[in-house]
Amino acid sequence: MSQEQAIKIEALNKSFGKGDAFVDVIQDASFTINKGELVALVAPSGAGKTTLLMMLGCVDAPTSGTIWLGEEKVYDNKWLTKETRKIRREKIGFIFQAHYLIPFLNIIDNLRLLPQANKTDDKQSKAKARELLKYFDIAEKEKAMPSQLSGGQNQRVAIARALMNDPEIILADEPTAALDMARSIDVVKMLKKIASEQDVAIIMVTHDERMLKYCDRVMKIENKGIVFDDEHTTKIL
Amino acid sequence: MIHLAKEDIKHSLGKFIVTAMGVGMLLGIVLIMMGVYRGMIVDAEVLLHDLDADLWVVQENTLGPFAESSRVHEDLKDTLKSVPGIDKSEAITFQSIQLPGKNGGKKVRVQVVGYDVYGEINPINPERLVEGRTLGIDHYEIVVTDKTGYKLHDTLKLGRNDYTVVGITHGSVASGGDSLVYLSLKDAQQIQFSYSNKRIQTDKARGILNKDAHLVNTVIATLKPGYDVDQVAQEIEQWHHKSVYTRAQQKIVLTRNVIEKASKQIGLFTAILVGVSTIIIALIIYTMTLEKIKEISIMKLIGLPNRMITQMIVEETLLLGILAFLFGNVFAHLISGKFPKRIVLDLPDAWGLFAVVVVASIFASFIGVKKVISADPSAAIGG
């Protein structure tokens, strides 16, 4: 595991509403996640997991604080660039509860969509997509439509898509929610492997405590603050 | 290179084509409406074309004989001969009647053209005469159009007399779209101006004599080469106290006065249909965009620029519009022959509609694009 920082948060706050409707969701959160780490994010429903994920994904602006993605400071009480979508395109990979592949694109085109937006050479993106499909053992399905694949296969394609832009971090929102136990373990082990082999930081939201032992660290939202629970952390994997 | 619009359409091709066919039928109706208007113009000019007259002499201060009632004396055709420049002249009557249906069938509204069988101008265009001949004698012969249902040598009763069909024409219509039938001037005058025996008896008892038997609705004339039509018209108006219209003026009277309201009505109807088509295309695109809103949110979340997504929406809308336009043309050509009145599908009208469809599609796509721009990328995260 590298000691190079992938995400650094300092004094992050997020609140919604005004007056009687004012709600504090995240208060004074500070943490660092290094490249190569798989970190589980655990909290009860409504505690702010999605809000945190959206802030880290440069979708929602924090109320105050500082965010570094890699060595680049992207937020310092305001976005430091107008093109937050470009940051997402170049630095962040997303995995969702369901695979959310584009249903009208075949598997390889689902993977090539992001490189096309980044104006990557067509041949290069095709080669990279094939390499990833091979890595996830679904190379023979490159021309298939998402509707023709099983849930587990689609989730692997979704993970492959998240890796197409060589991200520094991957934000995974309950990627095992729609899978059975065996497949869930497969996916989390796969994420662990990706984190270490591709040197990428992965934050995975999960409600399933059985998955925590496969993660390097467990991050919890407690009393609106971020705490790390080392009890669940395994050093064996 | 991934073409999002192409892939999306390919994925739901059947639905896309059926949608385009539906909109196409609407656009087909728009084309038909335009065709009805063009048909009216063509119909209005059939008589002008067939009579091929340079001047139309009608009752003073009237827009006769089509836009207003006009009566002039039949012998005006001889008087006109004394006007310098007049070559041929002919007295013509026009009258709308209900032609008895064949074998006691439904009556057919027609316009009777009465002309002197032995005169200088024959209003029956030989190109339209598909069977038989033109009128050969002064009485009891009739030339009808094929739309009346009568065949050669059929007989039919008009007024007190029986008439034999001696000729069949095709495409002979009046400005209102009624079929034209041709009678000798004497027969036509009798039908138009003669009263029943009872009426004549009553009039005689009152001291009124029927002197109107030799009236016609207009006298038409052609010019000798080298004469200015406006100057000759002015001469006739000045000395004979009649209103005179050149061919161009009569055409204006027909298109502006006779079919003006109908064309405005059709124009308004067409504009409404174009508006409705635009709204329908916009609604379809809006629905299609809504169906993809989750995918659009994901695309935005993973970092796809709005340009790529809006391009997909605009291209799909344009393609829908173009495909609908093509279907509309096919549909219009398939059904145009089924209408009772003439439908003229002009290429310039089709191109005009194409331009409108393209503009309307772009306008309609704005609704989808607006939805794309306002789509929340965070909607992709969470349940």
The ipTM assigned to this model is: 0.81
> A114 vs B12: CB contact, 8 Å cut-off?
no
Per-residue confidence (pLDDT) for residue A236, from 0 to 100: 35
Rounded Cα–Cα distance for residues B239 and A55 (Å):
95
Of A168, A157, A112, A106, the residue nearest A135 (C-alpha): A157
Of A92, A95, A25, A84, the residue nearest A59 (C-alpha): A84
> A37-59+83-232 maps to which CATH number?
3.40.50.300
- Dihedrals φ, ψ of B257, to 5°? -95, -40
pLDDT: which is higher, A94 or B210: A94
pLDDT at B212 over 50: yes
Q: Is A117 on the interface with B (CB under 8 A)?
A: yes
Most B CBs within 10 A among A113, A145, A157, A173, hence the mutation to make, goes to: A113
The whole-number average pLDDT for the span B120-129 is 91
Domain definitions of chain B by residue range:
4-43+261-380, 60-241
The whole-number average pLDDT for the span B296-300 is 87
Count CA atoms within 13 Å of residue B192 on its CB side. Answer: 26
pLDDT at A1 over 70: no
Q: What letter does residue B346 receive in the DSSP assignment?
A: -
pTM of this prediction?
Answer: 0.75
Q: Which residues pair with B93 in a beta bridge?
A: B114
Q: Write out pLDDT tens, residues B340-363.
A: 888 999 999 999 989 988 888 888
Q: Which of A60, A112, A114 is closest, CB to CB, to B303?
A: A114
Q: Write out pLDDT tens, residues B143-201.
A: 999 988 899 999 998 888 899 999 999 989 887 788 999 999 999 988 887 777 787 78
Cα B150 from chain centroid (whole Å):
24
Q: Between residues 153 and 192 of chain A, which touch chain B (CB distance below 8 Å)?
A: 161, 165, 173
> A97 vs B383: CB contact, 8 Å cut-off?
yes
The continuous run of DSSP H or E covering B166 comes out as strand B161-169
Per-residue confidence (pLDDT) for residue A234, from 0 to 100: 45
- Number of Cβ pairs closer than 8 Å across A and B? 79
From first CA to last CA, the distance across chain A in angstroms is: 12
Per-residue confidence (pLDDT) for residue A237, from 0 to 100: 35
Domain definitions of chain A by residue range:
37-59+83-232
Rounded Cα–Cα distance for residues B165 and B148 (Å):
11
Q: Write out pLDDT tens, residues B38-85.
A: 888 888 888 888 888 999 999 988 887 887 888 888 899 999 988 999
* B12 contact residues in A (CB cutoff 8 A): 104
> A114 vs B302: CB contact, 8 Å cut-off?
yes
